[in-house]
Structure formats: C-alpha cells, structure tokens
Structure 1
Amino acid sequence: MKDDMATLASLGIGPSSKVLLMGTKPDAKDLIQTTTGSPEEHALIERISQSIEKTKTKLIPQIESFEFSASSFLSNQNTNNDDTTKSKLVDTHHYIIENLMQTLLSLDDVVCPPEFETARKKRREAVKYIQGLIDRVDGVKEQLLHSSDNN
C-alpha cells in the first residue's frame, strides 16, 4: 500500500478476500538497538531509516548538482546574464524543497510513544538532518537571488 490512509475497500479487498502479509521478524541484535526491546519500536526506527536513506540516495546527488550548477552560474554571471538559466535553477530549488518537505511530512507521520526513546531520538535526528538540507538548498537560492541585486 502506498497510501497508509487508503481503505481496504479502495484496494479491492472485501469479504472473502485473502491477504498475505510479508515481513521479517527482527532478531535479537536489532532489538538491542531499541530502548524497549520492542519489535514495534524497531519497526519505527526502520521506517525512519528508510526515509533518510531514500533522501540520501535520491536527493543528495540532486542537491550537489544544484549547488554545482548555481556556483557555475554565479561565477560566469558577469560574462553571461542568463535569466533562463537562473529561472531553471530556481525551479530546481523548488523541486528539491518539495521533496525534502515530503520527507519531513513522512517523518511527521511516525508517531513514537514516549517509552520508545531510541525511536524518538532517531526521529529528532532525522528531522534535524532534513531541516539542515533545506537550509543548505535555501542558502544557494539566496545567493542566486542576491547575485542579481549586486549587478
């Protein structure tokens, strides 16, 4: 299920339907990493880790490319004042920010009970990491916007 809020009926599941659930049971080594030793806490930590891994593999390369492109644009701006390139860079900023905000929303959906201290800590760290990426990308956009003020 891609949509956690979807009803079973919307997925075509009704009376007499058979549902197969697949997963892995965390082993003792995985449970030691949690505060409570609870499989539920381990599942929350895994969900948080998957969100961050997805961001690292998908968005970090895009952020680095955006930073490189913006740097190249800014260093060549005096010789080539290209509003189209700048507009594309701003659009790229919006795309990256939208994806980072979606990651923040997915982390916001991870509700950790108070006794799941490790999961709560991992969630806080993940939110702080994503907010740092947002600040990083916004900083590049600010440089782009201020570059036109200086010319």
Structure 2
Amino acid sequence: MSTIMITVKWGRERLQIPLPPLDAKLSVLRQILSDHTHLPPDAFKLIYAGAIMKDDNAPLSAYKIRPGGTLLLLDSTPRPRPPKTEALTVEVIHSELATVRSTLEPSVDAFLRTPTVDAEHTRLGELLLQALLRLDAITVDSSWVEARRERKGAVRAVQGVLDRLDKGWREAKAQQQTQAPQ
C-alpha cells in the first residue's frame, strides 16, 4: 500500500506530509506537524475542507481526508505584548534564543551531517529567518543598554546558525557537483 501524501499550507510554506493511517488519532498528525514546524502541538489549528479539526481523539478517517488533500495550519500562538521593562525585554530575548538553541540548532546540526534534502534546508532556513524576525520585532527603548546588547547578541547567534546552515549546504552541493560523473 502506498503512502498517502497531503499538502499542509502554513503561511507561505507548502509542506508535503505523509498522512498517518486513517485509524490514527488527529493527535498523531498534530505531533508530526509539530515536529516539522517546531510549533507546540496545541499552538495551531488545523482546517480541512473548511472545517476546523478539533477532536484530537477522533480518528483521521472522521475528517474524510483524501489523498492529495490540503490542510491549512494556522499558528494560534498568542503574540506577546511588548514588554514594559528592560528586564522583561531581556527575558523575551533570552527565551527566543533558548528556543533556537534547543530546537533549531540541533536540527541544523543533524541536517549538516548529511545535507541531502533541499526541502529540509529551506524549512530550517525559513524557521531561522522567522526567529530573526521575531527578535527584530522586539521593541527596545533607546535607553535600555542591556536589552539592546542582548538583542544584538541574540541576532548574531541566530544569524550564525543560519550562516552555518547555508555554508554547509553550499559545500555539500559543490561536493555533489564534483562527484557527479562528467
């Protein structure tokens, strides 16, 4: 039996995901999507054929998903309000950097050990760019010296991971081209 593939629209991205068996619960699909997006499983809504997929205990067959179907993934993570103090701003910056270091950086390291899939390079690059945009969106009062320094350091760290990803990918591509038969 062949694997059923579905498309998941997530913002501007289109992910091709193998659909778990139709007797699997929605929570299984939610976990697979969480692994791909690095969003917590309860931080997004899924919509198929105009209906919100709510019941994580329901089997996928209950949602009548068809081969080649398209799910819409909506990030429902509450957006934090801009912090009102420098200490809270620094905490938000540290939290964003900790998330990158604990989830994305290990994924980049694993990818760079065997960089073979264009889609994974693109996905990781997009997630790192999103982290950079979130850091950029943090409002820092001009008088908050520590917060400005911390944000600058966090941006450098995330940009460093992105640069390492891109450099490793370019080197792998160059190596593939030199090994290709002429």
TM-score in same-fold range (> 0.5): yes
Greater RCO between the two (CA within 8 Å, min separation 6)?
1
Which residues in structure 2 correspond to 1:62-101 (within 5 Å)?
62-70=107-115, 86=116, 88=117, 90-101=118-129
Which residues in structure 2 correspond to 1:4-23 (within 5 Å)?
4=79
- Structure 1 segments of 4+ aligned residues over 2 angstroms from their partners: 1-5
Kept in 1, the 8 Å contact 2:89–2:140? The answer is yes
Which is greater in Rg?
1
Gaps of 5+ in 2: 1-75
Q: Displacement, 1:143?
A: 1.1
Q: CA RMSD in A?
A: 2.0
Q: Please give the alpha-carbon distance, in whole angstroms, between the structure 1 residues aligned to 2:147 and 2:128.
A: 20
Q: Please give the alpha-carbon distance, in whole angstroms, between the structure 1 residues aligned to 2:96 and 2:77.
A: 14
Amino acid at match of 1:64: D
Which residues in structure 2 correspond to 1:70-149 (within 5 Å)?
70=115, 86=116, 88=117, 90-149=118-177
Gaps of 5+ in 1: 6-38, 71-85
Return the structure number with greater helix share: 1
Q: Give the corresponding residue for 1:18.
A: none
Kindly provide the CA deviation profile for residues 54-109 of structure 1, in whole angstroms up to 9, marking residues without a partner as x.
11111121011111123xxxxxxxxxxxxxxx3x2x21111111110010010011
Q: Give the corresponding residue for 1:21.
A: none
Q: Please give the alpha-carbon distance, in whole angstroms, between the structure 1 residues aligned to 2:77 and 2:148.
A: 24
Q: Give the corresponding residue for 1:53.
A: 98
Amino acid at match of 1:42: A
| Identity score, percent | 24
Amino acid at match of 1:2: T
Kept in 1, the 8 Å contact 2:135–2:155? The answer is yes
Q: Give the corresponding residue for 2:55.
A: none
Q: Secondary structure at the match of 1:44?
A: helix
Amino acid at match of 2:110: S
Q: Displacement, 1:2?
A: 2.7
In the superposition, the TM-score normalised over structure 1's length comes to: 0.62
Q: Displacement, 1:3?
A: 4.4
User: How many pairs does the alignment contain?
Assistant: 102
Kept in 1, the 8 Å contact 2:90–2:147? The answer is yes
In the superposition, the TM-score normalised over structure 2's length comes to: 0.52
Kindly provide the CA deviation profile for residues 19-68 of structure 1, in whole angstroms up to 9, marking residues without a partner as x.
xxxxxxxxxxxxxxxxxxxx710110000000001111111210111111
